[in-house]
Amino acid sequence: MDAQETGPQPDTEGASVTSHKTAGQLLINRLTLESIVESAMDAIITVDEDQKVVLFNRAAEQMFGCSTQKAIGQPLDRFVPARFRDAHRHHIHTFGQSGVTSRKMGRLGTVMGLRSNDEEFPVEAAISHIAVDGKKYYTVILRDITERIRAEESHRESQRQLTTLIGNLPGFVYRCRNDRGWIFEYISEGVSDLTGYTVEAYLVQRTASYGEHIHPGDQARLRHEVQAALEEHRPFELTYRILTKSGEVKWVWERGEGIYAQDGTLSYLEGFVTDVTERKRAEHLLRQSEERYRRLIAVSPYAILVNRGDRIIFANDQAIKLFGAVKAEEILEKSPMDLFHADDHDTVRERIHQLFEGTAQEPMLEEKIETLDGRAVDVEVSGARFVDEEGPAILIMLRDVSERKRLQEQLRRTERVAELGTLASGMAHEIGTPMNVILGRAEYLMDRVTEESIKRGLQTIITQVERITRVMNQLLSFARRKAPLRIPLDLRKVIEDGMEMFQERLARNQIRVEMEMADPCPMVLADVDQMSQVLINLIMNALHAMPEGGTLRVGLEADRPMVKLTVSDTGHGIPQEVIEKVFDPFFTTKEFGQGTGLGLTVVKGIIEEHQGSIVIESKEGNGTRFVVLLPMSQ
């Protein structure tokens, strides 16, 4: 018994220590596992054989909107849409019988979850099972893939839109190497419509090379421009010609850029090429049209202006000439009101408004413009509204009608003179004969009566009859003016003789005479009697203009191919509205009985019959100057 008692005893203390270590390790493992499960970003749910929830981590709470406390004991299909629940239970049961310990769910379609607010959402799921004490437990790991699916759908839609866009473009997109042939690595289907070569010919069969399809005349320029852009790491834009498979020449526009690796080396080129043949053709036709219009405008007899925004933005050569400018810039940016006479501003302003509004009725109007040097010129004006890429504008066409109006006025005066001539001839017969009888009787009685009162009456009759006779003689001279007998004539002699005739009267009226005659001065081809008549009439006008004295200036000089005669006074001058009428028959500003109004009409007629001209320069209060131009004698 003792021997047995003194034999080896069981080490219960060591076993206890080992047991404690094992329990501690198990606790650590359990706590670690719980920590992993709770901190996992994916939802982790464990169910028993009856598919009742026994574990529901924090991520599952957030995913399904349900607390662990409410989830524990609930059937798993509580978190599956109703229409999938039967299939879901069957799937888990079958999985438990398969002998496979884990697999991914959703191989036949997207797995759907159900939140506590009945919102369905897609999940990615993996399932595994273990047996503990003869019982099976299933663990499902779930990941909400709502955002991923949304991103994938967005990406697919973007790809679809891009594919549709590229497919509908009148050209193609590409990726190519930076080599001599611009070998494509990718190209869209549009290349076939543009070049006639298929995508397969470029990418698979390699029987087509885009570099060879570029027009030979553009290849060197193209390569230079692309390489320059690549060196500066900037995009390039090119317009060039290509030769299609059928031999047709097309114009294309290309935009591309280099794609670089992280180390800065060029990987390839990407870009877009589109057909611009029609645009280039339209541009060519537009240039031709513009050139035709430029030529038409250049040779147009009309002065042409373009007005936009109350500013002149274009003036052709005729307009430059009409307004007395040297270059277009002198007219451009001016307002139309700066170019038209002040008297016509209201009419012009209303006309422009009507043109812009489209209500203008009169196709042509007569206005006056004011040249840059202040001259008033009669013009015929028409306008039209047009619209271009910069907006509405007015095309203004002007034609100088000064000469036409001068000729019309000359015709009017000629017709009036002819009428007066007919009238004068009739008057000479109808009035002249009775006047001669009256004059003869008055002179007869004058010699026989002695009473002074009767003599004074008779003298009045004689004086007035003589006046009527002078008027009649002037009328006859005016109406029956003979053709000039033109001979080489020295106007200095005519002037000297004429001044001698007026010497006494000039002195009596306290009029000082200044003579400036070139010596020698070329002779003119003229009628001496008619030239004397011209000079006498001009001097008489000067005398009447200076009743209180003044200065009479007579000048003679060569103004090749003409000789210029000037007669000027320092008298009261002529108002502007009267100047236009001074050459009209019977127009006079003298008092009744002081003149017939035919003197200057006769002068103008004589000068014009000598192929010369006469103009009057006068300003009220500053005297008057007559300028006569006569052709030199050959």
- Whether 291 is covered by a domain: the verdict is no
Please give the angle made by the CA atoms of 618, 536 and 511, to the nearest 5 degrees: 65
Task: Check pLDDT > 50 for residue 125.
Answer: yes
Task: Check pLDDT > 70 for residue 448.
Answer: yes
Question: Where residue 283 falls among pLDDT bands split at 50, 70, 90?
Answer: confident
Question: Where residue 121 falls among pLDDT bands split at 50, 70, 90?
Answer: very high
Task: Label residues 397-425 b or e (16+ Cβ within 10 Å = b).
Answer: bbbbbeeeeeeeeeeebeeebeebbeebe
- Residue 208: other Cβ atoms inside 10 A: 20
Are both 530 and 418 inside the same structural domain?
Answer: no
144 vs 479, residue with greater confidence: 144
What is the reported pLDDT for 15?
56
- Whether 10 is covered by a domain: the verdict is no
Which SS3 state, helix, strand or coil, does residue 189 take? coil
CATH number reported for the structural domain that contains residue 321 in this entry: 3.30.450.20
Are both 495 and 596 inside the same structural domain?
Answer: yes
Residue spans of beta strands (DSSP E) within 464-586: 487-489, 511-517, 524-526, 550-559, 562-569
Please name every residue paired with 422 in a beta bridge, in sequence order, or none if there are none: none
Structure tokens at 50: 């009856």
DSSP 125-182: EEEEEEEETTEEEEEEEEEE-HHHHHHHHHHHHHHHHHHHHHHHSSEEEEEE-SSTT-
Taken in order 410, 414, 417, 419, is the CA torsion positive or negative?
Answer: negative
Q: What is the pLDDT of residues 13-40, one digit of tens each?
A: 555 555 656 666 666 766 676 777 887 8
Of the listed ranges 114-128, 165-179, 414-428, 505-519, the one predicted with least confidence = 414-428
Are both 318 and 447 inside the same structural domain?
Answer: no
Are both 229 and 358 inside the same structural domain?
Answer: no
Task: Check pLDDT > 60 for residue 281.
Answer: yes
Are both 528 and 421 inside the same structural domain?
Answer: no
Of the listed ranges 10-19, 25-34, 185-194, 613-622, the one predicted with least confidence = 10-19
What is the reported pLDDT for 356?
81
Question: Where residue 4 falls among pLDDT bands split at 50, 70, 90?
Answer: very low
Structure tokens at 274: 């589109």
Of the listed ranges 538-547, 586-595, 613-622, the one predicted with least confidence = 586-595
Which SS3 state, helix, strand or coil, does residue 215 take? coil
Are both 622 and 506 inside the same structural domain?
Answer: yes
Task: Label residues 345-384 b or e (16+ Cβ within 10 Å = b).
Answer: eeebeebbeebeeeebeeeeeebbbbeeeeeebbbbbbbe
- Pairing of the two strands 102-104 and 53-56: unpaired
Between CA 347 and CA 491 the distance in angstroms is: 49
Of the listed ranges 99-103, 125-129, 457-461, the one predicted with least confidence = 99-103
Are both 494 and 428 inside the same structural domain?
Answer: no
The predicted model gives 468-490 an average pLDDT of 74
Question: Where residue 131 falls among pLDDT bands split at 50, 70, 90?
Answer: confident
Please name every residue paired with 113 in a beta bridge, in sequence order, or none if there are none: 121
Of the listed ranges 52-56, 222-226, 382-386, 592-596, the one predicted with least confidence = 592-596
Helices (H), 300-431: 317-322, 336-339, 345-357, 402-430
Between CA 503 and CA 31 the distance in angstroms is: 147
What is the reported pLDDT for 2?
43
Find out whether 239 and 276 touch, Cβ atoms under 8 Å. Answer: yes
- Domain boundary, last residue among 418, 453, 479: 479
- Domain boundary, last residue among 425, 448, 479: 479
61 vs 486, residue with greater confidence: 61
Residue 598's domain comprises: 487-631
- Whether 12 is covered by a domain: the verdict is no
Find out whether 394 and 383 touch, Cβ atoms under 8 Å. Answer: yes
Closest among 424, 409, 545, 558 to 480, alpha carbons compared: 424
- Whether 620 is covered by a domain: the verdict is yes
Structure tokens at 395: 């095309």
Between CA 517 and CA 500 the distance in angstroms is: 16
The predicted model gives 448-470 an average pLDDT of 84
Closest among 304, 352, 348, 344 to 328, alpha carbons compared: 304
Closest among 252, 242, 100 to 172, alpha carbons compared: 252
Of the listed ranges 90-99, 571-580, 622-631, the one predicted with least confidence = 90-99
Q: State the chain's mean pLDDT as an integer.
A: 83
110 backbone dihedrals φ, ψ, rounded to 5°: -70, 135
Question: Where residue 1 falls among pLDDT bands split at 50, 70, 90?
Answer: very low
Task: Check pLDDT > 90 for residue 300.
Answer: no
Are both 374 and 411 inside the same structural domain?
Answer: no
Task: Check pLDDT > 50 for residue 108.
Answer: no
Q: Which whole-number Å values give the CA distances from 450 to 430, 458, 460, 462, 464, in the listed order?
A: 33, 11, 16, 16, 21
Are both 42 and 71 inside the same structural domain?
Answer: yes
Whether the link from the prior residue into 547 is cis, omega within 30° of 0, is no
- Pairing of the two strands 524-526 and 487-489: antiparallel
Task: Check pLDDT > 90 for residue 240.
Answer: yes
Find out whether 556 and 538 touch, Cβ atoms under 8 Å. Answer: no
Closest among 616, 533, 607, 525 to 568, alpha carbons compared: 616
Find out whether 282 and 274 touch, Cβ atoms under 8 Å. Answer: no
Contacts of 318 (CB under 8 A, 6+ apart): 300, 301, 302, 303, 304
Number of domain units in the chain = 5
Task: Check pLDDT > 90 for residue 228.
Answer: yes
Are both 274 and 361 inside the same structural domain?
Answer: no
Q: What is the pLDDT of residues 305-326, one digit of tens each?
A: 889 888 998 888 888 999 988 8
- Residue 130: other Cβ atoms inside 10 A: 12
Of all residues in the chain, the percent with pLDDT exceeding 90 is 28
38 backbone dihedrals φ, ψ, rounded to 5°: -70, -30
- Whether 314 is covered by a domain: the verdict is yes
- Whether 304 is covered by a domain: the verdict is yes
Are both 364 and 417 inside the same structural domain?
Answer: no
Task: Check pLDDT > 90 for residue 328.
Answer: no
- Whether 8 is covered by a domain: the verdict is no
Find out whether 268 and 176 touch, Cβ atoms under 8 Å. Answer: yes
What is the reported pLDDT for 233?
92
What is the reported pLDDT for 127?
86
Between CA 108 and CA 456 the distance in angstroms is: 148
* Amino acid identity, position 544: H
> Would the pTM count as exceeding 0.75?
no
Continuous segment of H or E residues that includes residue 291: helix 277-299
Residue spans of beta strands (DSSP E) within 371-467: 376-388, 391-400
Are both 127 and 181 inside the same structural domain?
Answer: no
CATH number reported for the structural domain that contains residue 607 in this entry: 3.30.565.10
- Whether 475 is covered by a domain: the verdict is yes
What is the reported pLDDT for 250?
94
Which SS3 state, helix, strand or coil, does residue 586 take? coil
Find out whether 256 and 186 touch, Cβ atoms under 8 Å. Answer: no
- Domain boundary, last residue among 253, 281, 309: 281
